[in-house]
Amino acid sequence: MSSTVDPHAVLGVPADASLEEATAAYRALAKQHHPDVAGDPHSADVMARINAAYDELRARAADQGLAVDRGVGATGGQDGRRPRRGAWLPDAIRRAMGPELLAALEQREAVTLVVPTATWASPEARLALTDRRLLWLADDQPTHRVRSLRFRDVERVESKLAWPRRRGTASVRVRTRTGRRHDFGDLKPEIALQIARAVGGEL
């Protein structure tokens, strides 16, 4: 989101609104403007602005040291503050993950890479490979945006070149022990192979 756009104005909340208030406003707007329910040809653009505004406010809260708990606002200790989420990670990784994926991390969870991807449910997603699971954010979903899959729950994983091959992209297909399948597409072939090897090495 451009720095000239006020995220508070986009969400319709005052400049001194708490993150909890911003979250409530975001959810209300998402229910109204999400492309799956709005039926408006411009709803995708509107939803993108709403998502960007909410992400920016969550990022500001995280940078201020407030604990951002998956869409429920900011909480803290006696002084209302905690160490920043993912403080053990390099700054570049933290920026690439964004506040929602950071909020989903477990203590000292190492992150190897963060890449844009696409799934069958979300053409705009962000995938993180950690030392114990795949963690992804469906950017265009109004709720349940963060998903994860632990390596121990994976039965099989493979990387495949996209067709036609001149597209120069690949996908990672993961099958869980319960028979569920997850596909992550629009990846660089070398990245897809790295993810498949990392997940497969834990099987």
- Domain 7-75 sits in CATH at 1.10.287.110
pLDDT of residue 68: 46
pLDDT of residue 51: 85
Question: Residue 163: is its pLDDT beyond 50?
Answer: yes
How is domain 91-200 classified at the CATH fold level?
PH-domain like (2.30.29)
Which residue did the predictor score with more confidence, 15 or 62? 15
For the chain, the average pLDDT equals 83
Question: Residue 143: is its pLDDT beyond 70?
Answer: yes
203 pLDDT band, cuts 50/70/90, is: low
Task: Return the HEC string of the chain.
Answer: CCCCCCHHHHHCCCCCCCHHHHHHHHHHHHHHHCHHHHCCCCHHHHHHHHHHHHHHHHHHHHHCCCEECCCCCEECCCCCCCCCCCCCCCHHHHHHHHHHHHHHCCCCCCEEEEEEEECCCCCCEEEEEECCEEEEEECCCCCCCEEEEEHHHEEEEEEEECCCHHHCCEEEEEEECCCCEEEEEEECHHHHHHHHHHHHCCC
Q: Do 7-75 and 91-200 show the same overall fold?
A: no
88 pLDDT band, cuts 50/70/90, is: very high
Domain limits, the chain: 7-75, 91-200
202 pLDDT band, cuts 50/70/90, is: low
